[in-house]
Structure 1
Amino acid sequence: FSDALNCIMQVARGLEYAHRQGVIHRDVKPANILVDDQGDLKILDMGLARLQQPDDVILGGETQPELTSSQFFMGTIDYMAPEQARNTKLADHRSDIYSLGCTFYFLLTAQPVYPGETTVERILAHREEPIPRLSERVPQVPSEFNAIFEKMLAKSPDDRYQSVTALISDLEKFSTDYEGQTTVISLDESSQSQVTDANWASAPTEVQPAPVVPEMTMLASTSEQQMANSAALPKRGLLWGGLAVTTVILIVAFSWKPKMTERSVADSDVAADSSTINLNGATVAPLQQTYAARMKLPVKVEVPIGAGGTRVKLELMLIPPGIFQMGDRMGTSAESDAPLHPVSLTRPYYMSSTEVTNEQFREFVNATNYQTDAERSGGYGMTGGNWVKTMDYSWKNLGDLPVQDQAPAVSISWNDATAFCDWLSDKTGDRYRLPTEAEWEYACRAGTETPWFFGEQSDQMDQYAWFLNNSDGRVYPVKQKRPNTFGLYDVYGNEWEWCQDYYSPGYYSVSPVENPTGPAQGRERVRRGGGFQQPAAQLTSYVRGHGVPETPSRGAFRIVRETQLD
């Protein structure tokens, strides 16, 4: 329910924008709502839209400026308001609100509000049948939401919300009140086809009507038969729309040929570390070995972080400097992943070989008595096979799922992750922080230019990641899958990883080439790598996620240690 509610709030904001421009959509339905690979919802197919006109023009029968030349009966019956079915030209912004309510019902039930065998039966049902009580049809829906739903589906436009703005206000108020209650995310196969494609990047983001982009995900089908046909999608991957690319951007490609820096590395704890290189040569990139030997640096560093006699260590891998192409080289992903652009990282750094584990995070909490955002405002755990949000759950209590020492610490916010870095910096005297987004992608790619560091196709994902096809809806201990050639484990899947940068969808267009650190300000922070709920298609090296810094949803992290240079 919470995921469907989030979807509808995003679509409502998009409709609010359209209505302010005087545009009425007239065909709001699941098939016209698509999810990009950031989890942001886009309202597409404005082919039935028309410009809003004053009531006297509509009632007077004057010609209206249509955004389509069709003169036929227009709309989709299962989502059409009664007045629109009676006369298409009577449809106004309140008709879109009705259609949005029908769409919400479909997302929750995979059925239309008023099923029927014939067009006439369904039209009459929308006009005459009582509005179903949503909480009785879907047990997860609180009864308090019934009034909002019934007002969206009121038979008379005058009894509905008179603007999408008023609807959004009620949705936001309800969402705030609902936040403290238990949220159930079903993981059974039947529910995956309804919500999985929509909830993989949960942080709500403002949406406006968007231009056609080449790779999007259908939120839902328009009929029960289509829904049945799409039920297997979570196993096969997402249904990617074959939308035409309307603009071709020619980009001069840079080969990934890292340039060795001539600057020497200062004598430091890194250079003096006595750790030995015990990784197999096939595991470590040749560049990594060559650079390490040239600069007299260890490829792997183990940093003791345990208190007293504990033997808890943090394993770090050397990432050499270099130049690479950041973003989607094919130009087929969401706008925020493009354009492809060159990035030069001029300094080496060390990155943790795994996401920070429960064992490691516990050392920080025990030393500082730190309380995470999830402990203060609620986190996620598993109950009866479902992920549930309550005040009882946090990184140290995942409900039915055991908190394993070597599993990544989850339900971690960006604030929590940076607090861990600050503690470790104070403890060791070195500077630890979250990786910049550029550092994360460079380390993930490990010298490759393909969508996945293991190749052009995702068919090997099971060897490298815990994701939708093999995770059974949960996280797993680190190092159970194969690493990339820099020796980094679980960079795809298991759980999303926080980065240092503020998030901006247009940042790539203005990013500096050398050592980019993201926008100077913003509301959300970047997340990378995807999680256990994502299909392989959404776990590329370049896909960007984002979320507000206080949210524990889809939160894990790995860290970077800076290397001092002359």
Structure 2
Amino acid sequence: MLDQMMKMLEGQQINSYRLNKFIGAGGFGGVFHASEIVRNTSVQEVAIKVIPESSDDKLIELQNARKLEHSNLIKAYSVGEFRFLNTEMLYLVMELAQGSLENHIQKGGLSSGEIKNITAQVAQGLNYLHGQNKVHRDLKPGNILRVNQQYKLADFGLIRTLNNKSHTQTVHNSGTIIYMPPEAFKGDISSAWDLWSLGIMLIEMTTNQLPYKFNNDINQLMAKVMNCELQIPSLPKEFKPIIEGCLQKDRKQRWTAQQVLNALQPVQQAEAAVRMPVSPIPPIASPTPFTEKLANGIRLEMVSLPAGKFLMGSSDSDYEKPPHQVKVNSFAIGKYPITQAQYQAVMGNNPSHFKNNPQNPVENVSWNDAKAFCQKLSRITGKTYRLPTEAEWEYACRAGTTTRYYFGDDDNQLGDYAWGRENSNNKTHPVGQKKPNAWGLHDMSGNVWEWCEDDWHDSYAGAPDDGTAWIDNDNRSQSLKCLRGGSWYYFPYYRRSAHRGRFIPVYLNFNFGFRVACVSPGL
């Protein structure tokens, strides 16, 4: 019945989201691959969980899921409600995964290194969850999803907060029986539940077998689980202590997620030393600011950056691979995105959608518009202004860092540095209000996407390593152009230092702006 209703929702529009395809049911609802639509254009792909009820308890549950923030938990973006076939429904917008651990296991051939990596990521997610006084209760390979190269815990339909009554709550029909601990049938809920499930998954990953024989008889399986009648195959030596620690019958003797991480840590440190990327070469000099005078007292603040090398790209997305070292010559780049006041001073008009403050970044500009601005600015100043290349933009954004963002990896800090979906109130904001990066550049993440000089390519295979623009000479006017930095409208993933966007050069949008670059003075 649930599947039938969910299939009927395919193609439906709920608020700004179009439900493209029903992926599957689970955790009291259905999950869809969906597109967020703005002006009849898909601006990003997401997953949406639809729950055919709208009780206050369920709404609170979804709102609580939104508050969980960790790199090994599927990110929940927003909660909403709608009506379909006279049924009030809730929905949760989440980041879209590319696959699951279940898919990976079914394909076979998990290496020891892959198992360690996946186990560590699951344990890190659990360690955070348990630290928030939460228990997942439905940990299984199908609920461990892969987002780019990262594994994340998903499907929070059964998550419960521990309290004084936790050990007497009933759990009928919850979870997947084969991964449930013996105490589940007594209603005993604790963080040890999840560690048992991890132990069962580890057996499955290392041996491609499950520790119960039950001939498809669900009652027989339940009896074996309740009585802890495990039939454990021969285990690899390196994983045996962890599995045995997770599968202690007495939940009070069971390992914690931190103990699992501690057991894996020596191996991970050794592997990390082998995999460590080439370190960026420190800049040879400090950034130097200078100012251009425009019309009507308007100024353009620039920052000269030193030459250097850096690691461009990441393993988070195929579009960002392969990470590669790039040498960049000295150049200057705008301290801020071009503002509406600056655009007005140079071009004599302001095409922006958000016109409440002239210090807001100019937006609603195409790549062609940005190029025209650079040409006119060059005539005014006598210098050659242009759009930054992709390599220059990322070099400037990272400012010597190799982390996901130019301040680190924790997107909980992103609000201090960037305007985005979670704090922008759906509009742009005056430039320079957020913290700069280490080179004094503001708004490199969020506020507006920024056009770059390069033509779009689906990966960095064959990319220049000298910081120049990667341009296809044929049919240049129709080539997709690169955008960087994300905007006020986008979620944290799209505002990483390595993230890449693209659009046709004539397209304008109130998410799209730019900043300018030029050869450093004196060179």
Which TM-score applies when normalising by structure 1? 0.49
Q: Which structure dedicates a bigger proportion of its chain to strand?
A: 2
Distance in 2 (alpha carbons) for counterparts of 1:533 and 1:194: 21
Counterpart mapping for 1:70-469 below 5 A: 76-78=3-5, 80=7, 102-107=9-14, 198-199=36-37, 218-224=46-52, 232=66, 233-234=76-77, 238-239=94-95, 241=97, 243-244=100-101, 253-258=277-282, 260=284, 287-288=285-286, 299-306=288-295, 310-328=296-314, 331=315, 333-345=316-328, 347-366=329-348, 394-395=351-352, 398=353, 401-469=354-422
Aligned equivalent of 2:514? 557
- Give identity over the alignment, percent: 26
- Give the superposition deviation at 1:515: 2.1
Indicate the SS of the match to 1:221.
strand
Please give the alpha-carbon distance, in whole angstroms, between the structure 2 residues aligned to 1:196 and 1:220.
6
User: SS where residue 420 of structure 1 aligns?
Assistant: helix
CA contact (8 A) 2:347 2:376 kept: no
CA distance in 1, matches of 2:327, 2:390: 13
Q: Aligned partners of 1:360 and 1:428: how far apart in 2?
A: 13
Gaps of 5+ in 2: 21-30, 67-75, 80-92, 105-109, 115-148, 150-273
The answer to whether the Cα contact below 8 Å between 2:450 and 2:514 also exists between their aligned partners in 1 is: yes
Structure 1 residue 439: Cα displacement: 0.5
> Once the 2 structures are TM-superposed, how far is the Cα of residue 512 of structure 1 from its aligned partner?
2.3
C-alpha distance in 2 between matches for 1:239 and 1:343: 30
Q: After superposition, what is the alpha-carbon deviation per residue over 1:506-525, rounded to whole angstroms, capped at 9, x for unaligned?
A: 2x011122224124156211
Task: Establish whether residue 531 from structure 1 lines up as the match of residue 487 from structure 2.
Answer: yes
Q: Deviations over 1:68-124 (max 9, x none)?
A: xxxxx9x942355xxxxxxxxxxxxxxxxxx7xx422154598999xxxxxxxxxxx
The answer to whether the 8 A contact 1:433-1:560 is kept is yes
- Aligned residue identity for 1:529: G
Are residues 349 and 220 of structure 1, via their aligned partners in 2, closer, same or farther at CA, if it must alter by over 3 Å? same
Identify the residue that residue 485 of structure 1 maps to in structure 2. 438
Distance 1:313 1:106, change over 3 A: closer
- Specify the SS of the correspondent of 1:438: helix
The alpha-carbon distance between structure 1 residues 532 and 221, as it changes in their structure 2 partners (threshold 3 A), is same
Q: In structure 2, how many angstroms separate the alpha carbons of the residues matched to 1:519 and 1:251? A: 32
Change (3 A) 1:202 1:195: farther
Per-residue deviation, 1:455? 0.8
Task: Indicate the SS of the match to 2:380.
Answer: helix
| Aligned CA distance change for structure 1 residues 414 and 203 (closer, same or farther; 3 Å) | farther
Q: CA deviation at 1:502?
A: 0.9
Say if 1:201 and 1:432 are closer, same or farther in 2 by CA, change over 3 A. farther
Question: Which whole-Å CA distance do the structure 2 matches of 1:501 and 1:482 have between them?
Answer: 28
CA deviations 1:298-350 (Å, max 9, x no partner) are: x11010011xxx2111000111111111111xx2x2211122111111x2111
Tell me: CA distance 1:318–1:238, structure 2 relative to 1, closer, same or farther (3 Å): farther
Could you say what the CA RMSD is over the residues aligned between the two structures, in angstroms? 3.7
Structure 1: runs of 5 or more not aligned: 1-72, 81-98, 114-192, 206-215, 261-286, 290-298, 373-393
**Distance in 2 between the 1:201 and 1:538 partners?**
20
Query: Contact 1:110–1:224 at 8 Å: present in 2 too?
Result: no
Supply the distance in 1 between the matched residues of 2:19 and 2:290 (Cα, whole angstroms).
58
Cα offsets for 1:441-462 (capped at 9, x unmatched): 1100000000011112111111
Q: Look up the equivalent residue of 1:301 and give its one-letter code.
A: F
Q: TM-score, normalised by structure 2?
A: 0.53
- Which structure's relative contact order is higher, taking Cα pairs within 8 Å and 6+ residues apart? 1
